[in-house]
Amino acid sequence: MKIQNIDLGKYPVLLAPMEDVTDPAFRLMCKNFGADMVYTEFVSAEAIIRSIRSTLNKMVLHDEERPVGIQIYGRDTASMVEAAKIVEEAKPDVIDINFGCPVKKVAGKGAGAGMLRNVPLMLEITREVVKAVHVPVTVKTRLGWDSDNLIITQLAEQLQDCGIQALTIHGRTRSQMYTGQADWSLIGEVKRNPRIHIPIIGNGDITSPEETKRAFEEYGVDAVMIGRATFGRPWIFKEIRDYLDDKEADPEMTFNWMLDVLEEQLRINVERIDEYRGILHVRRHLAATPLFKGLPNFRQTRINMLRAEHVDELFDIMESTRPLIRAAEV
């Protein structure tokens, strides 16, 4: 699969852009485990224009993580065009436009998935951003605003006509947020449309190698994008790649190996930012990781882990889980 001249190979698996998740350390870790493309946290066009330092920091890229995309969102054409030009200076491989974020602070203001209620403006923004920059422009969106407005089949053609180079579709409406199940049937319908010639990337509820393979085989998508299933599990990309390549499960990927990965993630974040914020970045992953599920008498350990404020304390708590898993394996 190619996004313009970016060759992602066969059956590419991508890391989704996620706020407070896809920081540089996590992107590089996922890349090293086999993610074929990664994205930054999504960034606000207005904050880019105003040169908000925390926003500009999210746009710092490293050659080791390429190909990498920067995702932007906004609610008017002028600011989106200006922001896209600034983003281009950061030298991303693609600029992705977020027309899919369902959270109230974004969609409620007309940006993100809020654009699904104003398609003419969505298309105008897309056309103008494509014209304003030289890097490939892609879009991520949803099936529609709600179940009465499932517009993605027509919208995909319209967005393609605006000049985008790939389209990612999350299989839910904005009204669903992240509830219920992702509906991949409409994603497959878009892919089967003979007028569609750009890559179609499917997204939503992919949590295992088996589900990834099914997405490719049953719905014919060009790539699969994975979001929440990566929390506390960056090695999912290795699991998926090995499965798609018909390789045996790696015997080295034991509990201890996975715990080492999470400890390395903590170490990198603390070194890259500072102790307090580095720990905050990792808490989401520690809360969501499947690594500790099923451990006996783990509740209090989990509480302590998520309350730890100092890196040495957190490392000690994480290390204390090793004998727990050994006891569970006996």
Q: Which of 1, 101, 155, 223 is catalytic?
A: 101
**Coil, strand or helix: which one is 289?**
coil
C-alpha to C-alpha distances, 244 to 12, 56, 211, 231, nearest whole angstrom: 10, 36, 11, 21
Residue 140 token pair? 């991520």
Q: Using an 8 Å Cβ cutoff, are 91 and 61 in contact?
A: yes
Rounded to whole angstroms, the Cα distance separating 290 from 303 reads 16
Q: Using an 8 Å Cβ cutoff, are 278 and 308 in contact?
A: no
> What is the crossing angle of helices 255-272 and 275-288, to 10°?
150
Q: Is 101 a catalytic residue?
A: yes
Which DSSP state fits 247?
Answer: P
Helix (H) or strand (E) holding 82: helix 77-88
Helix (H) or strand (E) holding 104: helix 104-107
**Coil, strand or helix: which one is 290?**
helix
Please give the radius of gyration of the chain, using alpha carbons only, rounded to the nearest integer.
Answer: 20
Q: What are phi and psi of 275, to 5 degrees?
A: -60, -50
The runs of H, that is alpha helices, within 138-232 are: 152-161, 185-192, 209-219
Neighbours of 237 (CB within 10 A): 25
Type of residue found at 158:
Q
**Coil, strand or helix: which one is 144?**
strand
Type of residue found at 246:
D
User: Cβ-count burial of 263 within 10 angstroms (0-12 exposed, 13-18 middle, 19+ buried)?
Assistant: middle
- Torsion angle of C-alpha atoms 187, 197, 100, 291, degrees rounded to 10: 60
Q: Which residues are catalytic?
A: 101
